[in-house]
């Protein structure tokens, strides 16, 4: 599966986001959480959205299923899916044609994601009844089958048990089972393994991958774990301060990153740290989203920032047909700026080695 880059010709776009702006009203002030983010999602592929906390990863994807809080709204831009513009959806009725049915979501913390007072079976069955119209014994049998499919042993007995009788990893399997029972086209996984311990993480990732293959799912991973990204993603979108600043295939992002923020993010991988030196961390804090951001949002934290970065917002520059980055460094007039040492060292070390998949 390392050939995604050259398979561009027969890739089919399933969801297309253009210049999406999402705002929230908080204590009388307006916060711009998503600032003109654009993204193409391809059928059957896995996209990872990375970025630090508060960069808007969750808000961005929640906008696809209308799950942002009531004080938030899509200000402009479009989300095209199956010929409809989800950005224009207003009523719950419209969203119910998408939510779960077409686009499902798995959340971070499986410990609290299930209703503690209803059996695991009933909670999966609810989705089956809702989206596949199954009822009674038929629904029960299908639920047991799904439990089995997500790797829960003794599914007949587990069907009638309550969430507190399941471990964290098992509960996440149930949450995934619920998402799968909806039979969606796109599955959004919002940090699905963050709350789990490492050995379980790998199992859950493997499970999601298996289900993706079997059901032809398109996946969106939201994560700040670059290890997970390297493991699962075909494409990576890097978010910063509410916009997607670099977008490309896994290889392109890991080995040919162009945006200074992506460099900084990769440099902070502990694996890239040089022996005897303190781990790299990005200085400063993300910009205040209540105020209008001028120029490149990352410029104030970027030691290599150009003058223009503080004045004008960079457009998307194309690096390859699959790789885009929003940085003035890609402008033909820009001076040559080399990535940090850690990035160069990594490139040298892994030259010619594909990203693990």
Partner 1 sequence: MLSYTLRRLRQSVVTVFIVLTLVFLLMRLLPVEGYFGDSYDKLTEEQRQAVLAKMGLLDPWYVQLEHFYGALLHGDLGVSVVYRPDVPVNQIIAMKIPYSLRFGLAAIALSLVLGLAMGVRQARDKGRFWDKTWTWYIVLTHAVPMAVYLLFIQLYMTKILHLPMLYDRTNPISWILPTLSMALGPIGGYALWMRRYMVDELNKDYIRLARAKGMSSTAIMVRHVARNAFVPMAQYLPTSVLLTISGSIYVESLYSIPGMGGLLIDAIQRQDNPLVQALVLIFSTLGIVGLFLGDVLMAVFDPRIKLSKQGGAR
- Tell me which residues touch partner 1 (CB under 8 A): 65, 67, 92, 96, 98-101, 104-105, 107, 109, 112-118, 126-127, 130-131, 162, 164, 175, 178-179, 182
Our CB check for partner 1 shows the closer of 131 and 209 to be 131
- Residues ≥6 apart with Cβ < 8 Å to 232: 46, 48, 205, 208, 209, 219, 221, 357
Q: What is the rounded distance in angstroms from the CA atom of residue 341 to the CA atom of residue 41?
A: 32
Cβ at position 286, least distance to partner 1 in Å:
25
Our CB check for partner 1 shows the closer of 221 and 254 to be 221
Count Cβ atoms below 10 Å from residue 307 Cβ, excluding itself. 10
Cβ at position 110, least distance to partner 1 in Å:
9
Cβ at position 205, least distance to partner 1 in Å:
20
Cβ at position 13, least distance to partner 1 in Å:
23
Our CB check for partner 1 shows the closer of 38 and 123 to be 123
Our CB check for partner 1 shows the closer of 118 and 307 to be 118
Cβ at position 87, least distance to partner 1 in Å:
19
Q: Which helix (H) or strand (E) holds 245?
A: strand 243-249
- Residues ≥6 apart with Cβ < 8 Å to 171: 110, 111, 113, 114, 163
Of 214, 125, 216, 107, the closest CA to residue 178 belongs to: 125
- Residues ≥6 apart with Cβ < 8 Å to 353: none
Cβ at position 185, least distance to partner 1 in Å:
13
Q: What is the rounded distance in angstroms from the CA atom of residue 262 to the CA atom of residue 265?
A: 5
Our CB check for partner 1 shows the closer of 24 and 107 to be 107
Our CB check for partner 1 shows the closer of 113 and 282 to be 113
Cβ at position 47, least distance to partner 1 in Å:
18
Q: What is the rounded distance in angstroms from the CA atom of residue 151 to the CA atom of residue 329?
A: 48
Our CB check for partner 1 shows the closer of 117 and 348 to be 117
Quote the radius of gyration of the chain (alpha carbons, Å). Answer: 21
Q: Are 151 and 207 in contact (CB under 8 A)?
A: yes
Angle, alpha carbons 141-147-151 (nearest 5°): 145
């Amino acid at each position: 599966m390392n050939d995604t880059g050259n398979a561009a010709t027969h890739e089919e776009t399933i969801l297309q986001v253009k210049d999406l702006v999402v705002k929230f009203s908080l204590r009388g002030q307006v916060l711009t959480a998503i600032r003109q983010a654009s993204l193409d999602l391809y059928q059957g592929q896995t996209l990872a959205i990375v970025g630090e906390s508060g960069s808007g990863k969750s808000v961005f994807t929640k906008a696809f299923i209308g799950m942002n809080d009531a004080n938030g709204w899509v200000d402009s831009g479009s989300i095209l899916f199956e010929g409809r513009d989800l950005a224009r959806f207003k009523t719950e009725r419209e969203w119910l044609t998408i939510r779960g049915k077409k686009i499902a979501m798995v959340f971070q913390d499986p410990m609290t994601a299930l209703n503690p007072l209803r059996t695991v079976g009933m909670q999966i069955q609810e989705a089956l009844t809702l989206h596949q119209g199954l009822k009674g014994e038929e629904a029960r049998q299908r639920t047991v089958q799904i439990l089995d499919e997500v790797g829960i042993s003794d599914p007949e007995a587990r069907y009638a048990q309550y969430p507190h009788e399941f471990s964290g990893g098992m509960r996440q399997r149930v949450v995934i089972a619920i998402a799968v029972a909806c039979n969606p086209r796109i599955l959004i996984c919002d940090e699905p393994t963050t709350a789990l311990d490492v050995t379980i993480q790998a199992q859950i990732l493997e499970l999601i991958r298996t289900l993706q293959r079997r059901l032809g799912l398109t996946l969106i991973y939201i994560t700040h774990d670059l290890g997970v990204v390297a493991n699962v993603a075909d494409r990576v979108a890097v978010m910063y301060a509410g916009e997607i600043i670099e977008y490309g295939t896994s290889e392109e992002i890991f080995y040919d990153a162009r945006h200074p923020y992506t460099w900084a993010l990769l440099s902070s991988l502990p694996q890239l740290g040089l022996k005897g030196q303190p781990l790299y961390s990005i200085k400063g804090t993300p910009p205040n989203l209540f105020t209008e951001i001028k120029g490149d949002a990352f410029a104030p934290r970027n030691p290599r920032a150009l003058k223009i970065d503080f004045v004008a917002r960079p457009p998307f520059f194309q690096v390859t047909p699959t790789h885009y980055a929003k940085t003035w460094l890609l402008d033909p007039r820009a001076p040559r700026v080399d990535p940090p040492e850690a990035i160069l060292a990594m490139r040298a070390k892994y030259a010619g080695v594909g990203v693990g998949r």
